[in-house]
Amino acid sequence: MSYKTKADATRAGKVLKALMRRPELWTIEVFENIGWHMSVQSGSVRVSPNFDRNQKETGYYDCMIGFGGSGHGEFYRAKSSLVKAKPEDRGEYKDPNVAVTKEIEYAKKQLDRLTFLVFHARVSNGEQPSER
């Protein structure tokens, strides 16, 4: 959901940035889209807080890793289903650094799957792909 004012979103961004392991590598992004929103971003990694149905922060964070440093484009998401009972099953974590670590693990698994598929597609195409 969102913050009521730009100042509220900016304050929350400063708090979240301070929680990150290397805060100097993160920037705060605040934008308006039917309310004020905030995230911290480092390259193609974005961390944002979660809100409940009453637009109150839950104290959990999630992470997205995407293509394009501005955060636009496709993102890998560790979330499996919003109906899962435990926040961790939805890719939400109390520690934003854990959210980043879990998202990296998820992205690595996806990369391994793609590498496997590309290898076999190249073999099927008569190529001699190198094994890495």
Kindly list the averaged pLDDT for each block of 10 residues, start to end, along the chain of length 132: 90 96 97 92 92 80 72 50 64 90 87 91 87 58
Q: How much is the pLDDT for 121?
A: 92
Q: What angle do CA 58, 105, 48 make, to 5 degrees?
A: 30
What range defines the domain where residue 96 resides?
Answer: 6-124
Q: How much is the pLDDT for 127?
A: 92
Provide the 3-class DSSP secondary structure of residue 49: strand
Total count of domains within the chain: 1
Q: 49: closest CA among 22, 13, 88? A: 13
CA atoms of 48 and 79, how far apart (whole Å): 13
Q: Is residue 105 part of a domain?
A: yes
Q: Is residue 132 part of a domain?
A: no
Q: How much is the pLDDT for 106?
A: 84
Q: Is residue 118 part of a domain?
A: yes
CA atoms of 31 and 27, how far apart (whole Å): 13
Q: How much is the pLDDT for 54?
A: 73
Q: How much is the pLDDT for 64?
A: 86
Q: What pTM did the predictor assign?
A: 0.77
Q: How much is the pLDDT for 110?
A: 84
Q: Is residue 43 part of a domain?
A: yes
